[in-house]
Structure 1
Amino acid sequence: MLDRIAECLFWIGRYTERAENHARLLDVYYHLREEDGEEAEATWRRIAEAIGDCALYEERYEAYRENDVLFFLTLDWTQPNSILSCVEQARNNLKKIREQLPAELWNLLNGFYLWLKGVRTEEISQMSPHGFFQGLKERLAAFQGMAVSIALRDESWHMLESGRYLERSENVVRLLRSVGRIAPERRKGAYGYTVALLKSVGGYEAFRRLGQDDLTLEGVSRFLVLQEAFPRTAHFSLAAFERHLKDMRRESGKSVPALDRTIRLAGKARSELGWLDRDDITFDTLNSVLQQLLETNRQLGEAVAGTFFSPEREVTA
């Protein structure tokens, strides 16, 4: 696979997944503010911290106000982590390699981008934020569902999916770190945040069906890090990432030393999670576990870049 094609596919997977993750989190956190005892500005700051760059926000705005935060995180094309920017990056990458994926995927993503580009912040409030973000989730899920339905299971598919699952693993870590920043004195009142965290990944029903009832930060963290059966946990995502790398090696029909090393690194990360026990994730150890996972995801991203991408081009998330 040509390095430019591999790079585009990988980032299509990452950016579409990132946009959906942001839409999920904004939907839940937006409505959580009604139950929270914090001042409005503190709530909006917490939402901004979960997704965006607070330093960049504070350069542009004097205070954390609803419309400003919504625009910054959703529609600001100059903010590289906004939903619009993520969709635009995915679209631009797909435009470069349209021959590698079904035309229906381009039509779907391009139409979504053109619609989102025309939305104004005031319209989000008018159409109800829940309805708006639900619509974003559905459009992005339609893109992923279309890919699952009609994309050829070749190297291009596995590269696309490896990007998606690596992004998903990293997102779990960032979500948990965001909720983990709740001040210790407010920890007992953090029930709403942990439920919101589960709902943001669509995992609340799965958590209950598995007979778990520990809705503390530690209990939810154990579920989102260690659970092997739910597709939005760190363990599941890293296992899927490893599997798609192996499938790429099988499709190529040859052993590439750099790819073999990346697969071993992914297997080591997945295995280390598999060896963790529930008691290994406590309030005192959670931050170090998450920091290690974040570092692991960084190393895996660099390993993929070193294996498949052009060496003279630096790729950043």
Structure 2
Amino acid sequence: MLNRTAEALFWIGRYLERAENHARLIDVYYHSQQDEYLKSEELAADQHSDKWKRMVEALGSRASFEQVYGHYKEQTVFFYITLDRDNPNSLVSCINHARDNLRTLREQAPTEMWEVLNGFYLWLREQRSDGVLKESPHQFLSQIKNWCNMFYGCAYSVMPRQNEWYFIECGRYLERAENTLRILHAVQPSLAANAASSSESYMYLQAVLKSMSGYQAYRRVYADSISVERILEFVILNPSFPRSVHYAFHQLIEHIRSLELNDKSLKIAHERIVRQISKLIAELDCIEVAELTCETKDELTNRLLQSCSWIGSELGKTFFLVGEVSA
């Protein structure tokens, strides 16, 4: 398989996962904002601005937003993170990038996958942020998630379990681990500010659970045992929750191991990547729940984010035509 083909498949997985993650996070955060507005109409404008700022920070694009818009308002933030074509990290840009990558593989990828992704893009580019806000952001964002799930369901059904499939899944799970860690990193200032109030800290982490569709799964595991430490354990360490960091790393290493390689130099680099991810999984397995406080969590997420960056870089140097992959 050509290097550029592997790279295109890897980034299709990353961009689709990124779009779904953004839709989940925006949906939960937007509606929690509306609840706060109703409960505290007297809340100062600058406090509302800070909340929208955290939203942009969670999606990793604060500097570029401030360069273009300057002020944090509901309409501008929502447009920027969903339908702004000039924002390379917006929903419409992610789907456009994924579509462009799949278009280069039209002769190799199953036709069904192209039809779903092309239909997704054509629908999305017709949307307007003012209309979405007026009607129902929840309905719009739910449809984004449905399109992403339709694409993955199609790929799961029709793609042979060969290197092409494994590269898509590698991109998907690396992006998932990084997204979960970025969300945790984004709520750290709020957790630190409310360290003395476990109820306030729980409120923010509950939003994290809901953004990952993990609230009901958490309650099935821990019932009424609600604490910051338990939520952090579930999101970071749980081996069976599909959006936990541990699960994402486990799936990532399984798909990397499944790659069929003939070149000796590739095998050596491949084994180095596998060893590094194995160390990360072993580290997560050894963490005790009592160690997961708000303070230690931030240190852990920073270290794991650096590891995700290293993995992406090494995959780029090893398998792709361009020397290094960057998000």
TM-score by structure 2 length? 0.91
Which of 227, 230, 238 is 2:238 aligned to?
Answer: 227
> CA shift at 1:213, angstroms?
4.2
Q: How many residues align?
A: 314
Question: Over aligned residues, Cα RMSD in angstroms?
Answer: 1.7
Distance 1:263 1:244 in 2: 10
How far apart, in 1, do the equivalents of 2:108 and 2:158 lie? 12
In the alignment, the residues of structure 2 paired with residue 190 and residue 130 of structure 1 have an alpha-carbon distance, to the nearest angstrom, of: 25
Query: Do the aligned residues in 2 keep the contact of 1:195 with 1:215 (CA within 8 Å)?
Result: no
- Code of the residue aligned with 1:97 in structure 2: it is L
Q: Does 1:152 align with 2:178?
A: no
Give the whole-Å Cα distance in 2 for the aligned partners of 1:123 and 1:315. 36
Q: Render the CA deviation track for 1:75-123: whole Å, top value 9, x for unaligned.
A: 1111111111111111111111123321111111111111111211112
The answer to whether structure 1 residue 27 and structure 2 residue 27 are counterparts is yes
Residue type matched to 2:28 in 1? V
Which residue, 53, 60, 71 being the options, matches 2:61? 53
The equivalent of 1:170 in structure 2 is 178
Q: 1:191: which partner in 2?
A: 202
Query: Partners in 2 of 1:87 and 1:15 — Cα distance?
Result: 7
Give the letter for the 2:165 counterpart. W
Q: Which runs of 5+ in 1 are unaligned?
A: none
Contact 1:52 1:82 in 2 (8 A): no
More off after superposition, 23-32 vs 62-71: 62-71
Quick one: which amino acid aligns to residue 121 of structure 1?
Answer: S
Matched ranges for 1:256-275 at <5 A:
256-275=267-286
Task: Say which of 35, 42, 60 aligns to 2:50.
Answer: 42
Whole-Å separation in 1 of the counterparts to 2:186 and 2:238: 20
Q: Residues 100 and 156 of structure 1 are in contact (CA less than 8 Å); yes or no, is this contact kept in structure 2?
A: no
Question: Which position in structure 1 is the counterpart of 2:16?
Answer: 16
Alignment of 1:85-100 (within 5 A): 85-100=93-108
Q: CA deviation at 1:62?
A: 3.6
Q: Please state if 1:106 is matched with 2:114.
A: yes
Alpha-carbon separation, structure 2, partners of 1:214 and 1:61:
43
Which residue in 1 is equivalent to 2:326?
Answer: 316
The answer as to whether partners of 2:113 and 2:155 remain within 8 angstroms in 1 is yes
SS at match of 1:228: coil
Q: 1:57 to 1:148 in 2, by over 3 A?
A: same
Equivalent residue for 1:242? 253
Q: Report the CA distance between 1:197 and its aligned residue.
A: 0.7
Conserved 8 A contact 1:228-1:235: yes
TM-score, length-normalised on structure 1? 0.94
Helix, strand or coil at the partner of 1:304: helix
Q: Unaligned stretches of 5+ in structure 2?
A: none
CA contact (8 A) 2:173 2:251 kept: yes
